[in-house]
Amino acid sequence: MKNNIFIFLPDGVGLRNFAFTKFKSIGEENNFKITYWNNTPFSLNGELNYDEVKIKDQKIHPLTTVFARARKRIELNIFDKKYKETVYNTYNFPQSYSSVTNAAKSILVDLLVFFGSNTAGNKFVRERIKKLERKSSKYQSCKLQLQENKPDFIFCTNPRPTQAIAPILAAKDLGIPTGTFIFSWDNLPKATTLIETDFYFVWSDHMKKELLMYCPYIASEKIFVTGTPQFESHFDSTLIQSKEDFFAEHKLDLGRKYICFSGDDIVTSPLDQYYLEDLAISVRELNKQGYSLGIIYRKCPVDFTDRYDAILKEYQDVIVSIDPLWRPVGKNWNEIMPSKEDFALQSNICEHTEFVGNIASSMVFDFVAHNKSCLFFDYEQPQLKKGIRDIGQNYNYIHFRSMPSKEAALWIRSKENLTQTVKDIIDARSSSVFEGKKWFEVIVGPNPTIASDKIWNSIDRILKQ
C-alpha cells in the first residue's frame, strides 16, 4: 500500500521547488501517493491535474500575527546577546503606528519584546502562538481535512508563514508526523522559522549547524541534509536552448555579448535602478572602445514598482528587459506565482550571458552553476538620503559570512571601477567562478542534482522508523 504524503503549500514560494520541478514524479516513482495540501490561490488540480486538497479557511487568530512579530524580535535580541552581535536586529523592519489598530498591535509587540527577550519569554511566546492557533477556525477546518484524508506524513514547504501554524498543529495533534523544508539560505539567522515540526530538511551541513544554533530545542537526529530542488534545473541540459534560438526568441543581437542585471525588491535595494544605469553607462563606454555588449535586465518577480522605467527607456540601445514568467493570482507579494517555464528561462539567461550583476542576491549561486561570475555592487548612490536604506548593510548580514573567501564574488566598491571590472570579466582576466563554486557547495551542498531524491529517501526513512 502506498504511503499518502501531503505536500503542504502554506504560500506560493513552495510551488517552484515542489510543484514545478521533477519532485512529484520522483516521489511517485518511489511509490508514494502525493496530494498537495494547498493554501495558495493557485489551482494545482486545474492547472496541472495534480491531486490537491484546498485549504479554504484563511482565518488565523487575530493575535497570532502580534505574537509572531514579537517572537521574531525576541529571538533576534537573544541572538545579539548570546553571540555578542548587533547585526541580528538589522533583520527587523520598523513597526507601523499609523492608525489606532496598528499602534495598538505595535505597542503590544513592544511590551512582549521588552519583557520577553530571554529564554523564558521566548518559550512563553512560542507556546502562546500555539494556544491561539488551536482556537482558530483554520485549525478546526484543517483537522477535519486531515481526519478525512488520513495522510501518513505532512511535508511543509515553507516554515515562515503564520498560515502554516494551524495546519501543522492540527497534524501533530492527530499524531501525523510532520516535517518542514528550510526554503532559503537566509531563513535561520533572520528568526523566521515559525512552525515547529517533528523533522527538518535543510540544504547543507552549514544549514544544519545554523538550525541547531538558532533552534536549540531541535534534536540533531531530527534534521536531514538533502540539498534543495531550487538549483536542479541548472543541471538539466534538456532545458537549454541553442544560443541562436534563445537570441531569436528574445530579439537579441547575435553579434553582442550580454550581461545579466538581476533586479532586487525595493526593500533590499531601494535605489536598484541606478545600479542598472551605472552598468548601462559602462557598457556604452566599452562599446565605444570596440566591444559589442548589451544587458539583459531580469526584474525581481515581486517588484511592482515603475522605478526602472525611465532607465529602460533612456538606455534601450543597450538594455533588453526579459521578465520572469511569474503571474499574480492575488494582491500580495507571496501570491505572485512562478511557472514551470520560468525554470527554463532563468537557466537560459544564466547560460547565454557572460556574468550577473546585482545587489546581495542568491543569483550568485544560479550563475556559478553555469560557471559564470557574479558582480556585487557595494557603493552608495548619490540619491541616498535619510529614510532610504543603504544597500551596504545587506553584505553585513550573517548569511554573507558563509563565504569561504571574499573572492567568491567580484566587488564594485566604487562606481569608477565598474567599467574596468566589466572589461576584465569580458576579457577573461577576472573571474569569481573558482571561489564561487566553493561557496555554492557550502550553501547548497555537494550534490545539487539529487536533492529531490534525497528528500524522498529521508521521508521513506522516517516512515520506516
Nine-digit cell string for 226: 538533502
Whole-number Å distance between alpha carbons of 432 and 454? 29
Q: What's residue 329's pLDDT?
A: 64
Q: What's residue 47's pLDDT?
A: 79
CB contact set of 189 (below 8 Å; sequence gap of 6+): 79, 88, 91, 210, 214, 397, 398, 399
DSSP per residue, 325-371: S-EESSSSGGGEE--HHHHHHHHHHHHHSSEEEESS-THHHHHHTTT
Could you tell me where the beta strands, DSSP code E, fall in 185-302? 199-202, 223-225, 257-262, 293-298
The 3-state DSSP class for residue 6 equals: strand
- Asked whether the predicted pLDDT for residue 386 surpasses 80, the reply is no
Of 306, 314, 430, 293, nearest to 373 by C-alpha is 430
Domain extents for the chain? Answer: 3-60+136-227+448-464, 64-132, 234-444
Nine-digit cell string for 46: 486545474
CATH assignment, 3-60+136-227+448-464: 3.40.50.2000
From residue 421, alpha-carbon distances to 282, 286, 413 in Å are 10, 11, 11
Please enumerate, as own/partner, the contacts of 74-79 that have beta carbons within 8 Å and a separation of 24 or more.
74/112, 74/113, 74/116, 74/117, 74/121, 74/122, 74/125, 75/122, 75/191, 75/214, 76/190, 76/191, 77/113, 77/117, 78/117, 78/118, 78/119, 78/122, 79/189, 79/191, 79/214
Supply φ then ψ for residue 460, to 5 degrees: -60, -45
CB contact set of 440 (below 8 Å; sequence gap of 6+): 365, 368, 369, 448
**Same fold across 3-60+136-227+448-464 and 234-444:** yes
Could you tell me if 188 and 214 are in contact, meaning their C-beta atoms sit under 8 angstroms apart?
yes
Write out pLDDT tens, residues 74-125.
999 999 999 999 999 989 888 899 899 999 999 999 999 999 999 999 999 9
- H or E stretch covering 129: helix 119-134
Q: What's residue 427's pLDDT?
A: 98
| pLDDT level of residue 355 (50, 70, 90 thresholds) | very high
Task: Compute the C-alpha angle 72/73/74, nearest 5°.
Answer: 95
| pLDDT level of residue 332 (50, 70, 90 thresholds) | low
Write out pLDDT tens, residues 45-69.
887 899 999 999 999 999 999 999 9
Q: What's residue 291's pLDDT?
A: 98
Q: What's residue 304's pLDDT?
A: 83
CB contact set of 31 (below 8 Å; sequence gap of 6+): 2, 3
CB contact set of 456 (below 8 Å; sequence gap of 6+): 26, 27, 30, 32
Name the range with the highest mean pLDDT among 43-57, 93-107, 174-188, 318-332.
174-188
- Write down the number of H helices and E strands in the chain: 17, 15
Mean per-residue pLDDT, 157-169: 96
Share of the chain above pLDDT 70, in %: 98
Torsion of the alpha carbons at 172, 218, 3 and 29, rounded to the nearest 10: 150
Write out pLDDT tens, residues 268-298.
899 999 999 999 999 999 999 999 999 999 9
- H or E stretch covering 440: helix 433-444
Whole-number Å distance between alpha carbons of 200 and 191? 15
- Asked whether the predicted pLDDT for residue 303 surpasses 70, the reply is yes
Whole-number Å distance between alpha carbons of 34 and 243? 37
What is 234-444's CATH superfamily?
Glycogen Phosphorylase B; (3.40.50.2000)
- Please state, as a whole number, how many other Cβ atoms lie within 10 Å of the Cβ of residue 246: 18
Taking the model in full, what pTM does it have?
Answer: 0.94
Q: Please state, rounded to an integer, the average pLDDT across all residues of the chain.
A: 94
Write out pLDDT tens, residues 389-446.
778 889 999 999 999 999 999 999 999 999 999 999 999 999 999 999 999 999 999 9
Whole-number Å distance between alpha carbons of 465 and 153? 13
